[in-house]
Amino acid sequence: MMHRAFFILVALTLVQTTADASSRKNHDSASASKSRTSDSSSSWGKDSAAAQAAFRANDLSKAEKLAKKALSDTKHMKENDPRIMISSEDLAQVYLRQQKYDQARPPFMRVLKIKEAKYGKDSAELIQPLNNVVRVTCAGGACYDTIPYLKRLLAIRKRVDPKSRDIPITLLLIGEAYEKREAYPEAMDYFKQATLAEKQRIGNGPMVLTLSRNIERVRHKMAVCKTKSVG
């Protein structure tokens, strides 16, 4: 089971194209840097900048303390104030690096909700925050709970780029999540969808081989369940 859990976490880092990741990361970093610079004299600006410096220095204990303080500085602000999203993201990233996945989920969820309100629930701008929620939820041991978010990622991906390599990966992850819940018919369906999507994209390859093994594994589990129910 461990190799499959590891595969899921590795695959989750790939559920966005390199171009998407680079573009959004640069855009978000520039926006955050601009906000910190323009507000450098305030408590929030000082705490936020100090938290980032500690994070870059890998002083995670200090970064966590300062990121919490920066987020606390935003209590008087309206929810659409960009400083709230910046501080929520900063704190979540600190928790993620510390492997405090359960604690990382609420601030990542807050970022998601803020971006939903700003861009709409089917915007490509949600790819990164959705991916972050999926990563920490699964890493925290609740992979089955990621299914609604993975399905939203899938729908956005299909609309933005129907030939994206991330479509078969996302289908695979949904199948894995269903399998962990022992929902084998659903797992089989998504593994088959992933196989078809990958074959249409590049033909047979390593991922198709992985998926064929997944299908055989799930088929065996279904047979065992059927035997037990008859017995």
Going by pLDDT thresholds of 50, 70 and 90, the confidence category of residue 2 is very low
DSSP 14: T
Q: Where in the chain is the domain with CATH 1.20.58?
A: 160-231
How far apart are the C-alpha atoms of 194 and 104, rounded to whole Å?
A: 29
CB atoms within 10 A of CB 203: 8
What's the pLDDT at 39? 61
Least confident of 1-5, 144-148, 185-189, 210-214: 1-5
1-141: CATH topology is 1.25.40
160-231: CATH topology is Methane Monooxygenase Hydroxylase; Chain G, domain 1 (1.20.58)
pLDDT digits (tens, 9 = 90+) for 48-103: 999 999 999 999 999 999 999 999 999 999 998 999 999 999 999 999 999 999 99
List Cβ<8 Å contacts ≥24 apart for 164-171: 164/17, 165/14, 165/17, 165/201, 166/14, 166/15, 166/16, 166/17, 167/197, 167/201, 168/194, 168/195, 168/197, 168/198, 168/201, 168/207, 169/11, 169/14, 169/15, 169/194, 169/207, 170/15, 171/197
Is residue 104 packed enough to be buried (19+ CB in 10 Å), middle (13-18) or exposed (0-12)?
buried
Q: Where in the chain is the domain with CATH 1.25.40.10?
A: 1-141
pLDDT digits (tens, 9 = 90+) for 54-68: 999 999 999 999 999
Rg (CA), the chain: 20
Token code pair at residue 198: 């990958």
